[in-house]
A and B are shown apart, each in its own frame.
Chain A
Amino acid sequence: MGYGEYSHAAHVALTTARAPRARVFAQPRCHPLMDPRDVARESRDSDDHPDSLGVVFALDVTGSMGDIPRKLASQTLPDFMGALLDAGVRDPQICFVAVGHAGQDNAPLQVGQFESSEVLIDQWLTRLYLEGGGVGGHEAYELAMYFAARKIALDSVDKRGRRGLLFLTGDVAPNPAVSRIEVERVIGDALDADVPIRDMIDELQRTFEPFFLIAPGAPRTIERAWRDLLGDRVVRLEHADDTAHVASGLVALLEGAVPSLGALVGRLGAAGVPRKQAARIARALVPFAASIGRDDAPPPPSRDFDLPRGDPPSGLQR
């Protein structure tokens, strides 16, 4: 009587989960659903996810990043949700953002939706449009920050006073200001004046903990420029494959899901991460872990007074 193979195959192809790897970044232009113009994004609690925490991952998709964005989107980031759960975040909601060149690209900024399911997250990754190429111009990190600060509403902030997480990846120095011309062109807001980058970051930090993950091989001057703005929240990656682990490691340390860096490395080993990679991840995380006293180093001797240790995450103290 019955037979459903063709329709089943068609149904699976249409609805399944993960698009074939090759199709990540296959978009010929900015997907209409990712256009940041005149839209807002929300990370809301639900019955299934009562303790939501919005996590924005902004991926630099310009040509200078080489093959890294493609590898991240197709191999590493699809598993980011699991890594966040492992890191002790109860109800993570992930939103992917793609950062291109300000001023010239078709899509300097692409913004997904907050999703709690891996399947749906994967679809946003599939929709990303890889800008590539592009000489001159600068990466529009500040547009991502502007969008996060002014266009994203988080229940974790509104209800629990707990800030969301923003991860930026890239290899270029920050722009000194948010251009009102670019904001109007890309996002649609009319501003009276440019917003200086420090003001932008101060505003952003009311609702997000920002981290900047420096791509492997980027010049030290780039790192310094970002450290000047974000302090210990700047992390230099040794290898692009580590991106999701480093990001989730930052979360685990911040949330206290692991007591120390040593414990985190043990956990990576138990999760099947090769020893060599776990060591790379640990090295990348040392400065941040040290800044919150979770680097396993003995506390510095002090006769005068006790240094505060292990205090709750307090965001940036620039």
Chain B
Amino acid sequence: MNRESWAVVDLGFGDAGKGTVTDFLVRDRSAGLVVRFNGGAQAGHNVVTDDGRHHTFSQFCAGTFAGARGLLGPDFLLHPLGMLVEAEHLQEVGIADPWALTEVSRDARVITPYQQAAGRLREALRGEGAHGTCGVGVGECVADSLFHPDETLRAGDLSNASKVRQFLETQRERKRAELDGLGAEDLSLFEDPGLIDRVIDAWSDVSAHLNLLDRGEVESAIADEPTVIFEGAQGILLDETWGFHPHTTWSDCTFTGALTLAGDRPVKRLGVTRAYSVRHGRGPFPTAGTMPVREEHNVDDGPQGTFRAGVLDAVLLRYATAVCGGIDALAVTCLDHPRPEQFCTAYRTSGGVLRDLAPGEPADLTHRESLGAQLTSIEPVMQGADLLGFAEDATGCQVELESRGPRPRDKAWVRPQG
């Protein structure tokens, strides 16, 4: 049996076009299954079909329009009510029963309204030192699962109302006390006596829709499928380990999760970048402002903050490729936008010219924090080059897929795939 798998990962700060690339791969490779192996409800993967339907995929897989099943893996961070809202929108754009296409690992962690509120309150308390957030509660949920592992709620627990109630009551009291101690302003959510009842009601609605898989079922769902696409979320430069702390996301944004779930399947690692660099919200971004950009589906609102763009940055591309262990193929999107002819090849610093960032040891978050600080004080060295050649040089990998627009028909392989 032909067993083909692709893992799609963003080489930058996110927003490179993983959704639209996933949709194309599902169609072109006739994939039956798309696996979300990292991140969770904070993802926003835009897909536009050839007939003009648009959806921002968050907790349903970007292969949904193309008819693939979706699997939310064991590391996924589930926001059950967000799924409900998203399912409604999917129905409006013609997916009659998005739930039927979706399977969920019982181990997926569940984000609660208390975590969502606490995440935002914490970010508000940081003031000028804000880290950048989507406001979904992902970080809070991951932190809780690390520091209070026995208090972690998982997708498999959602139908157990008494467990959910006990869990939420414990969490409410712990977070209220903690946030009160920090001086958080608005704790009304934690004092709302009816919230838990409403959450339980609403979650039980969602739970009735979920097709839950235990560990063995997840493994066989992936193993039995001829063609699988692993749809990454966020971007390597936001990775919980390799990103520029503290402006990171609580998720492994490299290929690791995909390779683990793939088991013995061979996986083609596809790195995705736009023809330029983008970043939503706070954090270092050396080439920010070096080119104008039009943006349709990413807008400057919500807790994420502003959307910035700049030319491609070879230093960051080299860094991203190095920390994720290398890529097998490169996809470049947004080639329909005006192409810059100058690119950032190195940084000018007070100590001379810097071509590479040393990743440091995995555990050394302080090192990445100082890298991030350094990135805010350097000046990009710009050189004229051909875009695709520049990207290939920086990543050490050939461009296999080019995208000139949001729809599947706007994409083409550079050379035929086997």
Q: Closest approach, in angstroms, between the C-beta of A79 and any C-beta of chain B?
A: 17
Question: Assuming A1-B235, A2-B249, A3-B44, is B195 touching A8 (CB within 8 A)?
Answer: no
Q: How many residues on chain B are close to A (CB under 8 Å)?
A: 49
A127 contacts B by Cβ under 8 Å? yes
Could you say which of A1, A11, A15 contacts B249, with CB atoms under 8 Å apart? A1
B345 contacts A by Cβ under 8 Å? no
Q: Closest approach, in angstroms, between the C-beta of B84 and any C-beta of chain A?
A: 6
* Residue pair A3, B56 in contact (C-beta under 8 Å): yes
**Complex contacts, B304 vs chain A, CB 8 Å:** 2-4
Question: Assuming A2-B14, A3-B43, A14-B199, is B194 touching A127 (CB within 8 A)?
Answer: yes
**Complex contacts, A3 vs chain B, CB 8 Å:** 42-44, 56, 58, 134, 304
Could you say which of B44, B113, B117, B188 contacts A2, with CB atoms under 8 Å apart? B44
* Residue pair A4, B192 in contact (C-beta under 8 Å): no
**Complex contacts, B41 vs chain A, CB 8 Å:** 4, 6-7
Question: Assuming A13-B81, A15-B117, is B58 touching A7 (CB within 8 A)?
Answer: yes
Give residues of chain B (80-100) contacting chain A, Cβ–Cβ below 8 Å: 81-86, 89
How distant is the Cα of A139 from the Cα of B81 in the complex, in angstroms?
Answer: 41
* Residue pair A6, B79 in contact (C-beta under 8 Å): yes
A43 contacts B by Cβ under 8 Å? no
B198 contacts A by Cβ under 8 Å? yes
Q: What is the size category of the interface that chain A forms with chain B?
A: 20 to 34
A-B complex: 10 closest residue pairs judged by Cβ atoms: A3-B44, A1-B14, A7-B82, A10-B81, A2-B134, A6-B82, A4-B134, A7-B79, A6-B85, A6-B86
Q: Closest approach, in angstroms, between the C-beta of B261 and any C-beta of chain A?
A: 21
Which residue numbers of A lie inside 8 Å of B, CB to CB? 1-11, 13-15, 33, 113, 117, 119-120, 123, 127
Could you say which of B15, B111, B202, B238 contacts A7, with CB atoms under 8 Å apart? B111
Question: Assuming A4-B42, A4-B134, is B193 touching A120 (CB within 8 A)?
Answer: yes
* Residue pair B134, A15 in contact (C-beta under 8 Å): no
* Residue pair A2, B234 in contact (C-beta under 8 Å): yes
B116 contacts A by Cβ under 8 Å? yes
B245 contacts A by Cβ under 8 Å? no
Could you say which of A10, A117, A120, A127 contacts B85, with CB atoms under 8 Å apart? A10
Minimum CB distance partner of B45 in chain A: A3
Minimum CB distance partner of A3 in chain B: B44
**Complex contacts, A123 vs chain B, CB 8 Å:** 192-194
* Residue pair B192, A5 in contact (C-beta under 8 Å): no
